[in-house]
Amino acid sequence: MSKILIRGAKVLGGEPQDVLIDGGLVAEIGTGLSAEGAEVVEADGKVLLPGLVDLHTHLREPGREDSETVLTGTRAAASGGYTAVFAMANTFPVADTAGVVEQVYRLGREHGYCDVQPIGAVTVGLEGRKLAELGAMHESAAGVTVFSDDGKCVDDAVIMRRALEYVKAFGGVVAQHAQEPRLTEGAQMNEGVVSAELGLGGWPAVAEESIIARDVLLAEHVGSRVHICHLSTAGSVEIVRWAKSRGIDVTAEVTPHHLLLTDELVRTYDPVYKVNPPLRTERDVMALREALADGTIDIVATDHAPHPHEDKDCEWAAAAMGMVGLETALSVVQQTMVETGLLDWTGVADRMSAAPARIGRADGHGRPVSVGEPANLTLVDTAYRGSVDPAGFASRSRNTPYAGRELPGRVTHTWLRGKATLVDGKLA
């Protein structure tokens, strides 16, 4: 059915209104709209947001289909209220050619749950030595605009400089996984009080901060755009704030887990808390929340990193790094940002939809909820309270740190260009 009437939804948290979807577009917004010829969705005061956009997702296909596929990953995305995800390049083979990115892009379109915008590798094989064919990936059907060696840092200053310069030709952006490799050899968790006690190799904040400092200076020098992935420390916030005040074209993202969890959880030695960058301290968490509220950090990105059970059901040092996040991101943001009064729903729409779409140049996504715009929409039951049950995840993997934890809010409906991908919490 092409016509859908969403009745009584709080658009961006405002007063309840009716929203009519027709032909894949938002056709009308008002009160008491006619339901004639339309399927009616009673929103009952749920919050209507633009479809969420994730600038940092690992879909694992090709190569690790036992963890996730484009299909399962986009189903997870739709469950979490996303209508577009940017798929990281660290697959097998690496997404460093037009062929690989086109394949991933096409699979996303075919499955139809969520648009998949592939991210291209900055360097061949993520090896940090030779630039990948950035232009060819941009010109491919996938139209790649974001490039990242995520999982690894582009640590060679010259390669980073060249990549920043080169992508200017087509409005691209380099998304940096900021991790000084020498300072993080053998790193297992945040370096500090807890690592000292547990005897786990420390990942010092300065390993992140020094790369961010270098990269914003490089971006300034060559007049390019740089994006910082999963910022995790209070010091990183200070550097980005300084860079922005200086007019440097830098954007930054924070993950939901860095807004909520701290390194104290590592005391359990449960690898579900093992992630890169690692969980930091309470002080860092608070600084990240404030920075997201004041716009120093532009967006929330999930760093959804699915892993099969056996890669986590082992001793800490042997476990894979990463957490799944697509299906819990909005709940974590509601708890840490909305219920703390730091951000309203308009702010959430900006940080989780408009801004990531703008950074990644995802046309048609992150648009305002207004007449004539593509009907990429998400309906959230913000009053919902319940504990997270990974058994219900659409993702192929279950490595969530929130199992059994109570989180507020639940996405009930997601529409991608007017087509429902999630209805009453169930995938369409």
Partner 1 sequence: MQRHLISAADLTRDDAVLILDTAEEMARVADRPIKKLPTLRGRTVVNLFFEDSTRTRISFEAAEKRLSADVINFTAKGSSVSKGESLKDTAQTLEAMGVDAVVIRHGASGAPYRLATSGWIDAAVINAGDGTHQHPTQALLDAFTMRRRLVGRDAGIGQDLAGKRITIVGDVLHSRVARSNVDLLHTLGAEVTLVAPPTLVPVGVGTWPCEVSYDLDSTLAKSDAVMMLRVQRERMNAAFFPTEREYSRRYGLDGERMAKMPEHAIVMHPGPMVRGMEITAEVADSDRCTVVEQVANGVSIRMAVLYLLLGGNEPAVTHTRTEEK
Catalytic residues: 303
- Are the CB atoms for 29 and 19 separated by under 8 Å? yes
Instruction: Give 177 or 413: the residue with its C-beta nearer to Zn ion.
Output: 177
Only one residue has tokens 């008491």, namely: 32
Torsion sign, CA atoms 375, 342, 293, 190: negative
Is 60 assigned a ligand-binding role in the annotation? yes
Q: Give the DSSP H/E element, type plus range, for residue 209.
A: helix 205-222
Is 58 assigned a ligand-binding role in the annotation? yes
Give the tokens for residue 375: 């009907």
Q: Which of 58, 161, 177, 280 binds Zn ion (CB under 5 A)?
A: 177
Backbone region of residue 13 per phi and psi (left: phi > 0; alpha: psi in -120 to 50; beta: other values):
left
In whole angstroms, the minimum distance from the beta carbon of 204 to partner 1 comes to 7
In whole angstroms, the minimum distance from the beta carbon of 391 to partner 1 comes to 18
101 φ, ψ (degrees, to nearest 5): -65, -35
In whole angstroms, the minimum distance from the beta carbon of 341 to partner 1 comes to 32
In 245-330, which ranges are E strands? 250-254, 299-300
Is 177 assigned a ligand-binding role in the annotation? yes
In whole angstroms, the minimum distance from the beta carbon of 321 to partner 1 comes to 12
Is 90 assigned a ligand-binding role in the annotation? yes
> 426 - beta bridge partners?
423
- Are the CB atoms for 159 and 123 separated by under 8 Å? yes
The number of residues in the chain equals: 428
User: Of these partners, partner 1, Zn ion, none, which one is at the site of residue 16 (CB under 5 to 8 Å by kind)?
Assistant: none
In whole angstroms, the minimum distance from the beta carbon of 150 to Zn ion comes to 4
Q: Determine whether 95 is exposed, middle or buried from the number of CB atoms within 10 Å of its CB (0-12, 13-18, 19+).
A: buried
- For residues 121 to 160, the per-residue mask of contacts with Zn ion, x marking binding by CB under 5 A and - elsewhere, is -----------------------------x----------
User: Of these partners, Zn ion, partner 1, none, which one is at the site of residue 387 (CB under 5 to 8 Å by kind)?
Assistant: none
Instruction: Give 150 or 284: the residue with its C-beta nearer to Zn ion.
Output: 150
Is 217 assigned a ligand-binding role in the annotation? no
- Are the CB atoms for 81 and 420 separated by under 8 Å? no
What's the CA gap between 277 and 231, in Å, rounded? 8
Is 276 assigned a ligand-binding role in the annotation? yes
What's the CA gap between 46 and 411, in Å, rounded? 9
Is 294 assigned a ligand-binding role in the annotation? no
Q: How far is CA 217 from CA 146, 295, 297, in A?
A: 20, 20, 18
Instruction: Give 191 or 350: the residue with its C-beta nearer to partner 1.
Output: 191
- Are the CB atoms for 168 and 147 separated by under 8 Å? no
105 φ, ψ (degrees, to nearest 5): -60, -45
Residues that bind partner 1 (CB under 8 A): 188, 191-200, 202, 204, 268-269, 310-311, 313-319
User: Of these partners, partner 1, Zn ion, none, which one is at the site of residue 40 (CB under 5 to 8 Å by kind)?
Assistant: none
In whole angstroms, the minimum distance from the beta carbon of 80 to Zn ion comes to 19
Only one residue has tokens 């319940």, namely: 386
Instruction: Give 310 or 406: the residue with its C-beta nearer to partner 1.
Output: 310
- Are the CB atoms for 228 and 241 separated by under 8 Å? no
Instruction: Give 312 or 417: the residue with its C-beta nearer to partner 1.
Output: 312
> 377 - beta bridge partners?
50, 415
Is 280 a binder of Zn ion (CB under 5 A)? no
Only one residue has tokens 């860079």, namely: 243
Instruction: Give 170 or 316: the residue with its C-beta nearer to partner 1.
Output: 316
User: Of these partners, partner 1, Zn ion, none, which one is at the site of residue 150 (CB under 5 to 8 Å by kind)?
Assistant: Zn ion
Instruction: Give 193 or 383: the residue with its C-beta nearer to partner 1.
Output: 193
User: Of these partners, partner 1, Zn ion, none, which one is at the site of residue 318 (CB under 5 to 8 Å by kind)?
Assistant: partner 1
In whole angstroms, the minimum distance from the beta carbon of 296 to partner 1 comes to 26
Q: Within positions 260 to 279, which residues make up the interface with Zn ion, using CB under 5 A?
A: none
Q: Would you tell me which residues interact with Zn ion (CB under 5 A)?
A: 150, 177
Residue stretches of the annotated binding site for Zn(2+): 56, 58, 150, 177, 230, 303
Residue stretches of the annotated binding site for substrate: 58-60, 90, 276, 307
Residue stretches of the annotated binding site: 56, 58-60, 90, 150, 177, 230, 276, 303, 307
